[in-house]
Amino acid sequence: MIGKPLTVSSRLNAYEALLRRLPSHHPTYTTIEKAYTLPLAGYRGEKEVYYRLKNLSDNFIIFHDLRLPHQDSFFQIDFLVLSKSCIFVIEVKNMRGTLFFDTHFKQLIRTVEEKEEGFRNPLAQVQEHKWKLSEWFSKVLNISSVPIESFVAIANSSSVLKTNAADLEIYQRVVHAEYLIDHLNDWNTYYLEKNFGFLDVDQITKELLDADTPFQPDLLKRYGIKAGELRNGVVCPHCNAASMKRTHGKWLCWQCNKYSKGGAEQAIGDYLQLIASSISNQECRSYLGIESPQLAKRILHSADVVGDGATKNRRYRVFDRIN
Ligand SMILES: [Zn+2]
């Protein structure tokens, strides 16, 4: 069963919006293009793991991308899988090449075409998520000693795994995505047989979804880009020119002469993702280069936004930004 379905992360959405809006000659363009590959690979890896997890029986509830509060901050879990007897925390890594888990230096070393690169040990990361989650359970649900098992799922089936670990634990914790559900089923049976008692999965599901606080990255601030440097208007899905004009009830590209649908709604999404958390009818007209307040209203209504305030001063924002 699905508790929270797979969605494209707001980080990936924000990078895609920025690459659409930033002129290709902008000095930060190549930096952003390079940075974009990380959330993209992350999402592809999570997609792979999600399709595997969906093969689990209905005794398991799958949550993708939960961001839960811990002290003054948050921690983000790629996948949480809940059953009546235990909980699984899964960190996904989508890396090609040879992955060497160095347990002495607590590092992950990736080798691709003889080039070595060091990363934080994902086992340490997932272990940290495990104890933070355990604290969250005791604080929010008043459940202490909830059985939590953690995994690092390797999404890329051709990556080679190596380690210098002396103990066997790493072989149970770091698994290729295709074998992940076997491990989950084994642990679930183990806890069922131990008969520790049952978890209230309905209540836990509700509390997890209530506490989940999606992350909203501010890429303009991060890369020192001003809103005025971005391209306004509707971007053509065929030639990427920001030169679409409203003609006879349709959007026509003046560059390549093709029509498109949905570009205006996407433009509103880009605005809310990058420039401001809300938009007025007037700001929408000036941003899209249209004159009719009725047309702006129609576009805003068909975009995935919600309006606040009286008609005259109404501002529109994304549903998710309520929290
Ligand atoms: Zn075009």
Question: Which of 62-76, 204-218, 240-254 is the least confident region?
Answer: 240-254
DSSP 27-75: TTHHHHHHHHHHHHHHHHHHHHHHHHHTTS-TT-EEEEEEEEEETTEEE
Give me ligand 1 centre to Cα 233, in Å.
Answer: 13
- Per the prediction, the chain carries an average pLDDT of 91
Tell how far the Cα of 17 is from the centroid of ligand 1, in angstroms.
17
Which domains are assigned to the chain? 2-211 (3.40.1350.10), 232-322 (1.10.10.10)
Question: pLDDT tens digits for 275-316?
Answer: 998 999 999 999 999 999 999 999 998 887 777 777 777 888
Q: What b-and-e string marks burial along 227-265, b requiring 16 or more CB atoms within 10 Å of the CB? A: eeebbbbbbbbeeeebbbebeeeebbbeeeeeebeebbb
pLDDT at 321 over 70: no
Residue 323, pLDDT > 50, answer no
How far, in Å, is the centroid of ligand 1 from the Cα of 158?
39
The answer, yes or no, to whether residue 62 has pLDDT greater than 90, is yes
- Residue 270, pLDDT above cutoff 90: yes
Supply the pLDDT for residue 52. 96
Q: What is the distance in A from the centroid of ligand 1 to the CA of 286?
A: 21
Q: Residue 40 pLDDT more than 90?
A: yes
pLDDT band at 322 (very low <50, low <70, confident <90, very high): very low
Cβ proximity of 30 and 50 under 8 Å: no
How far away, in angstroms, is 246 Cα from ligand 1 center? 13
pLDDT in tens, 147-166: 999 999 999 988 999 998 88
Q: How far is the CA of 267 from the centre of ligand 1 (A)?
A: 15
What distance in angstroms lies between residue 222's CA and the mean position of ligand 1's atoms?
30
Q: State the Cα torsion 274-319-216-76 to the nearest 10°.
A: -150
Distance 252 CA to ligand 1 centre (A): 8
What separation in Å is there between the alpha carbon of 239 and the centre of ligand 1? 4
Kindly report the pTM of this predicted structure. 0.87
Q: Which two tokens stand for residue 164?
A: 């210098």
User: What is the 217 CA–ligand 1 centroid distance (Å)?
Assistant: 29
Q: Give the end-to-end CA distance of the chain in Å, rounded to a whole number.
A: 26
**pLDDT tens profile 95-111:** 989 999 988 888 899 99
Q: Please tell me the distance between residue 193's alpha carbon and the centre of ligand 1 in angstroms.
A: 62
